[in-house]
Structure 1
Amino acid sequence: MGPEEPLPAVARALAAAERAAAEALGEPLARWDKFSSTVASMGHETFITWETLPLVHYLIRSLGPNGADWRSLFLGERMKQLHWPAETLDELIARRETVFQQDRDALVKILAGKVPPAELEAFTARLDRWRELVTTNVRTSREIKILLVGDCLFLDITTFLAALLLERGITLRPVFAASKNPVEMNALLRTHAADRFDLVCYSPYTYEQNLSLARTHFLQGIRSGPATLRTLADEAHAQMLPTFRMLGDLFECGVYVHNTANVRRHDGTPLSFAKNLITAYARRTAAKRVNELLDTTLREHNASAPRPAMLIDERALLARFGDINLSRKFYSTESVHPTVLSLRLAEIYTDFIGAVAGLTGRKVVVVDLDHTLWAGVIGEGAVQHHRDRQQTLKRLRAKGILLAIASKNDASNIRWDGAVLGANDFVSQQIHWELKSTSVRRIAAELNLDAKDFVFIDDRADEREMVSAAHPGLLALDALDEGPWRMLDWWATSLPEQKGADRTQFYADRKKRQELQEELGGDSGAVLAGLGLRVSIRTLVPKELDRAVELVNRTNQFNIRGSRVTRQQMAAWSKSDTHRILVAEAADKFGGMGIVSVMVLEGEEIAIWVLSCRVFGFGIETALLNEARRRTPVLRGAIVETERNQPCREVFAANGFQKDADGWLWPGGEVPADPEWLAVTTT
């Protein structure tokens, strides 16, 4: 939504009538069952002071200079008030539509005749835009379910965060797990073990979440020497370890862990300010130790874990904003007291949640060159490389994401001197003066991938719009906005280390195969025989588990049931008496291709079967199916059609299976020969 023009006359008029405005905003709440017992227990006047007077203050401040943060706070708090877990999406949107319309009408009525007509009209239009954001935008947004493990910090973060994410087309669905008792916390987490989350965030130390570390916030902390502070930090770390390990065991999504700035919230009064100053040494000393311990824990965890745990670095915020500013209460009443820390963390959360929502599952990043990878136009003078951006892309390439170029340029001008990236980092280079939508189409054809697998980065809005229109499902990002680069950096951090061969090299080898085919005039038999194709088919071994899970979850085209699996499921099947997991690893004279197919057999049923698109046409699916037939006299399979699995729908018919009411049947008998151009070994 971006910054909005100040409306000073409206702000002054609302300030003069703040109680009437609070009554207007409180009216739909006071007559709702959700708040009826609260109103009855505290009385109507106190309820308005507690629940909606802060909302009016947020609204007033959103109308002044730099009002965007207050707008986020207003919208987030209002959406939180209107949330009711038992309601359907349609009921939620209907309630928001009704209440935001009532808010608009009531506030306009209060302001009538008190502000210039033009400013009142601008205010009315603004409220209409906000209502549209929290209603219509929700229907087309991507929902992200997040488990938040910690204290009241998360209530404040999500209040700031809700509107920021809606502006990016994301609806946040938070689930809170809060307890200062580690045993109680771990029991609470077990109740969510069967739930599926997109990500988990854990803040073990913030404010007074950890009672050992919290001692440094009080006057007793100033009497603690270095040895005592070290002991407190060690205790705090020991208390968080079981919870951290449980999060990794219970949930297969990304886990994001806060270190600590160890700020002590203050309200700006002289006494509160003084307490912050005199506890600063104790808080800083204990935080340094506990953060070092957490760094070591994450480093050891990530060295062997199937997916990395990510660090949310409060130290960086402390260095940037300072202790006093970061710990300041952004707004303070008895009922609400968000801090500057929660606001700044919400900005960080916006980036990595944006990465989870928009980038998860993407396979290719296509970039422009001028004003994207470097500042300036190459061929028209010196350019300055954006080394930070290129380093992010280099990290993505190392994690298995393919890089490609779509640039309107003279290819002979392109130089990589002084760059982090080089020509060999790109799987395809479309550098010419044709439309970039054409370039992306060629890249997709070369890689045999779908538009939904692509990210496109360009500095020009018209280019992004044309490419997006030509390739629905592609994600287009603005190269001039630092936000997308932060998202890409979070994405690179969240991806596991690539195991096996270099995916970019796989595609380079594939291009050599295609060149060989052209050289031999399209004679497929001669081409396949000349490749020296070798396939090893074997039962999955533990070290191949992560690759098998990755291949199933990344494969869309040859995926007979559109299957997705968790690591826990695959690990359990690998040890089960009722399941067998076969993998096929391929190579040819140009190099190894790694594991290219996974088949999960449950009794006589092919429960899961995927094949990498990089080996289509080599007959590897026939060889693997033949081996399954040798190991299982009677074999069944089925095709569950998805939007993208057209390439595998004829595989059973093409390999001699019989169609019946339950799918496809191999009733037994002599197994056909493997393709003659394949050298197949089995173990």
Structure 2
Amino acid sequence: MTLTESRDVSARLAALLAERIEDVIDLWEELGEAGPTFGSPVAGRAEERRERYLRPLARVLVGALSGSADHAAIYLDERRRYASAELDASGCAAEFGRRLPGELGRLAGLVADRLPVDLALEPLEQLHRGLTEHRDPSARVLFIGDCLFVETRALLVAREPATPVDVRHIFFSTRQQLAEVNSAIVNEVVAYRPDVVGLSLFTFEGVPPFTAAWRAAAAPWGAPGATRSVAGLVELVRETIENIRSVSDATIVVHAPGGVPVGRWRRRLGALPEHSWGQRRLLRALRAGVRDVVAHTTNTILLDEGPVVAAAGGARRIGGPLFDPADVPAGYFHTTRLGARIAEEYAGVLDDHRLLARAKVLLVDLDNTLWAGVMGEGAVVHDRELQRLLLRLKQAGVLLVALSKNDPQTIRWDELELAPEDFVLHQINWVPKPDNVSQAVAALDLAASAFVLLDDNPVERALVTEQVPGVRAMDPAAPVTRRALERWFELPSTTQTAEARRRTEMYREAAERRSALSQTHDYATMMRSLRLRYDVRPAGPQDRDRVLELVQRTNQFNTTTQRRSAAEVDDLLADERYGVHVATLGDRFGDLGVVALAVFARERRELDAVIMSCRAMGFGLEIALVSRVLAAEGPGPVTATFVPTERNAPAADLFARAGFREVGAHRWELSVDADRPVVPEWFGRPSGVGGR
């Protein structure tokens, strides 16, 4: 069956089921536990269940079969309403896979007099694959808010079919105590470990203090008191962010209110303003307060609902139902237009997160990217805003690589906001760009997935992404590109540490180092030629940000890959039961600063973690670090654990090389009488290298 024929059959099935809505509802009621309600008493009494859940559900089923993506999204989400909360995503898919064949066969049987059952089954099975098929998600999102996020979740998941998203929702209402919600937030963030958190405290019902202030602001005499509550409401946003930050460093999308919903009378009387004077004043103050919190909090993104509401025609319109009530009557679910627009905003955030959250290098084309025109042919018009943005990214730790088919002598650097030294590598030549990118990947010793290409030429973008798998590409002319680059500052792959600001210099030195090593062949001689120097010392307060960065970013040389939040790192550094040791490294090319750390659990005498930046791999520093840590922590047996992952193979033989004996699955032991590891001969005496 062709795609057109399939759509025709689906539309015909939709029309037939629309004529037999009562039969569909009767069938679902008859199925009981095997039907949409799973037999749950929460679905309500028979009449309520029928009119407020099953009838709207049948109508969105018809809309979905008619080809409406929004109807399909809400239908699939509502089918999960009564599924067991104890099932994870794969378990839920398996349960639907067991239940649905019988139901779909009977639905097809309802129209068997007008449409063969095998033809009717095809569109039904196609639609319900959204319930029976499970794929690993590309991102995990945790929503914290009221019913706005119910519809946002449904529509967001439907907008991401090629890149599945797993979404959880902490729902609160005006009837809940804030202490209960805050406790639930912390527990869920710890258990779920989301990539992105959405936080909306002032939409629809909102938190109780906001709801009270909003109602008070509607009355002329209540406006002053409502405005006085702004400081407390803004502080509530700040406290909630701090609660999340205490256990997670996920990017947080913070909503500023847009004034939805409009009060009942103002919604009906179009001649009245959408909001009272007091409510408008409250909204302005709250937006300003939330903007200030986001501006002074790292790794947060502002989602101002005000412009979203205005662009959609105002709060009356966007707060109204997404579906015509004559099509889908109001029931347990009452999807608004706002949810659809907010889902689009989050789809953009997730696109940027997938593209840049783990990126470390931006490959930058020059002609018609950093400026309009070809510099080798004469005058050009510089995109100074983009150049300044790239400079800020470089200062936040992003590595820039100049990648251009050009004569390097024609580049007039004195015209740019960027200097030659702002680029870790210059790949400016006539070599095919895929070859230049492969050379950059090798020179910087990073995975191809850490590279993103910024190039105006669609052919070059296609060649690079096809020939160097893992590299992604961006079109500098696309509006979403500038948005993504601005958001990069709020994603995990950028930081504001001293090491981040020096990252370009350090990676350039590393590339020179690899070039120097390629000139000799004897390993010890190669190492001695670098004039390596190192130091190992207890971590101090000045090392906190770098320790956090190593713990959160290092994947390859990491014996456990256990991620610790900022709060957990603070506790670790303050806990005398643990020794946290940092190692610095330098050579004849320059200082790399703090590049490794080891955590020693003193009470159980265990190397809890050994972590080293990839730029320090290959010099034997890990053995020097373990040797110095064992000496500092005193005599006695020592144990260690190596937890293998897909990416930490470089650390797999560390303990064997350090003289430990494997005593169980991934468990290692260095007995009291065993030889201790020896610092490699090519290291000079320890010295204060790269101290901060």
Global fold match (TM > 0.5): yes
Secondary structure in 2 aligned to 1:400?
coil
- Superposed CA deviations along residues 602-649 of structure 1, whole A, max 9, x for unmatched, are 233222112222123434223322212322324444544443334334
1:259 deviates by: 1.4
Deviation of residue 542 (structure 1)?
A: 2.5
Tell me the residue number matched to 1:32: 33
Match of residue 546 from structure 1: 545
2:495 aligned partner: 497
SS of 2:253 mapped into structure 1: strand
| 3-state SS, counterpart of residue 283 of structure 1 | helix
Residue 681 of structure 1: SS of its match in structure 2? Answer: coil
| Aligned residues: CA RMSD | 4.5
Match of 2:202 in 1: 205
Separation (CA, whole Å) in 1 of partners of 2:584 and 2:105: 66
Instruction: Report the Cα distance in structure 1 between the residues aligned to 2:357 and 2:181, rounded to whole angstroms.
Output: 29
- Tell me how far apart the structure 1 counterparts of residues 495 and 109 of structure 2 sit (CA, whole Å): 59
Q: Secondary structure at the match of 1:139?
A: coil
Distance 2:579 2:586 in 1: 23
Report how far residue 599 of structure 1 moved: 0.6
Pair 1:340-2:331 in alignment = no
Q: CA 1:408 to 1:164, structure 2 compared with 1: closer, same or farther past 3 Å?
A: farther
Q: How does 1:653-668 map to 2 (within 5 A)?
A: 653-655=656-658, 662-665=667-670, 667=673
1:317 aligns with one of 308, 315, 318: 308
Which of 259, 281, 287 is matched with 1:285 structurally?
281
**Offset, 1:436:** 4.5
Quick one: structure 1 residues 182 and 175, their matched pair in 2 at CA, closer, same or farther if it must change by over 3 Å? Answer: closer
C-alpha separation in 2, matches of 1:346 and 1:405:
36
Q: Distance in 2 between matches of 1:481 and 1:102?
A: 48
Distance 1:35 1:672, change over 3 A: closer
Mapped partners of 2:244, 2:466: distance in 1: 41
The more displaced of 152-161 and 97-106 is 97-106
CA distance in 2, matches of 1:478, 1:22: 52
- Counterpart position of 1:139: 135
Residue number in structure 2 paired with 1:160: 155
1:42 — aligned with what? Answer: 45
Which residue of 424, 446, 454 maps to 1:449?
446
Please, which of 241, 256, 260 is the counterpart of residue 259 of structure 1? 256
Deviation at 1:395, TM superposition (A): 4.5
Equivalent runs, 1:528-677 vs 2, <5 Å:
531=530, 533-603=532-602, 604-631=605-632, 632-634=634-636, 635-655=638-658, 662-665=667-670, 667=673, 672=678, 675-677=681-683
Paired position in structure 2 for 1:85? 85
Q: Is the 8 A contact 1:536 1:680 kept in 2?
A: yes
Map of 1:195 onto structure 2: 191
2:246 aligned counterpart, secondary structure: helix
Cα deviation, 1:206-246, whole Å, max 9, x if unaligned, reads 12314444356559714147633422434533554543433
2:287 is paired with a residue whose SS is helix
1:600 CA drift (Å) = 0.8
Which shows bigger deviation, 200-209 or 666-675? 666-675
Paired residues of 1:177 and 1:189 also in contact (CA < 8 A): no
Deviates more, 1:460-469 or 1:537-546: 460-469
Against the structure 1 CA distance between its residues 320 and 423, is the aligned structure 2 distance closer, same or farther, given a 3 Å change threshold? Answer: farther
In structure 2, the CA distance between the partners of 1:274 and 1:581, relative to structure 1 (3 Å rule), is: same
State the 1:108 CA deviation. 6.8
| 2:582–2:598 Cα contact (<8 Å) kept | yes
Which amino acid in the other structure matches residue 149 of structure 2? F
Query: Which stretch has the larger CA shift, 395-404 or 408-417?
Result: 408-417
% identical aligned pairs: 26
- CA–CA distance in 2 between the matches of 1:238 and 1:676? 55
- Contact 1:216 1:279 survives alignment (8 Å): no
Q: Residues 21 and 679 from structure 1, CA distance in 2 versus in 1: closer, same or farther, beyond 3 angstroms?
A: farther
Matched, 1:401 2:398: yes
Superposed displacement of residue 399, structure 1: 2.4
Aligned residue pairs, count = 665
Retained in 1: the 8 A contact 2:356–2:491?
no
Q: Identify if the C-alpha distance between structure 1 residues 311 and 263 changes in structure 2 by more than 3 Å, giving closer, same or farther.
A: same
Q: 1:107 to 1:41 in 2, by over 3 A?
A: closer
Q: What residue is the counterpart of 1:53 in the other structure?
A: 55
Q: CA deviation at 1:442?
A: 1.9
What residue is the counterpart of 1:681 in the other structure?
687
1:183 CA drift (Å) = 3.2
Higher mean alpha-carbon deviation, 215-224 vs 315-324, is at 215-224
Residue 180 of structure 2 corresponds to which residue in structure 1? 184
* Partner SS for 2:498: coil
Q: Following TM superposition, by how much is the alpha carbon of 1:286 offset from its aligned partner in structure 2, in angstroms? A: 0.4
| Distance (Å, rounded) in 1 between the aligned partners of 2:49 and 2:351 | 36
Residue 351 of structure 1: how far off its partner (Å): 2.4
Contact 2:454–2:476 (8 Å) recurs in 1: yes
Contact kept, 8 Å, 1:266 with 1:328, in 2: the verdict is no
Distance in 2, matches of 1:431 and 1:261, equals 48
Task: State the partner residue of 1:329.
Answer: 321
Give the residue type in structure 1 aligned to 2:684: L
TM-score (norm 2): 0.80
Q: State the match for 1:297 in structure 2.
A: 293
CA distance in 2, matches of 1:96, 1:398: 50
For residue 686 of structure 2, what is the amino acid of its counterpart? V
Distance 1:296 1:40 in 2: 43
Q: Per-residue displacement from partner, 1:68-120 (whole Å, max 9, x unpaired)?
A: 44444444444x347432335444224545777678767777778989x9xx9
Pick which of 345-354 and 258-267 moved more.
258-267
CA displacement at 1:483 relative to structure 2 = 4.9
Q: 1-side partners of 2:481 and 2:78: how far apart?
A: 27
On the 8 A contact 1:539/1:581 being kept in 2, the answer is yes
Cα distance in structure 2, aligned partners of 1:524 and 1:376? 48
More displaced stretch, 424-433 vs 586-595 = 424-433
Which residue identity does 2:55 align to in structure 1? L
Structure 1 residue 313 displacement after superposition: 1.9
Per-residue CA distance 1:393-432 (angstroms, 9 max, x = gap): 5544332232335556666666678766565443334455
**Matched position secondary structure for 1:337:** coil
Change (3 A) 1:343 1:140: same
Q: CA deviation at 1:596?
A: 0.3
Task: Evaluate the alpha carbon distance shift between residue 385 and residue 659 of structure 1 in structure 2; reply closer, same or farther with a 3 A threshold.
Answer: same
> What do residues 18-64 of structure 1 show as CA deviations (whole Å, max 9, x unaligned)?
362475377457522644255984325x5343224334544566688
Alpha-carbon distance, 1:597 to partner: 0.6
Q: After the TM superposition, which residues 112-123 of structure 1 pair with which residues of structure 2 at under 5 Å, given as runs?
A: none
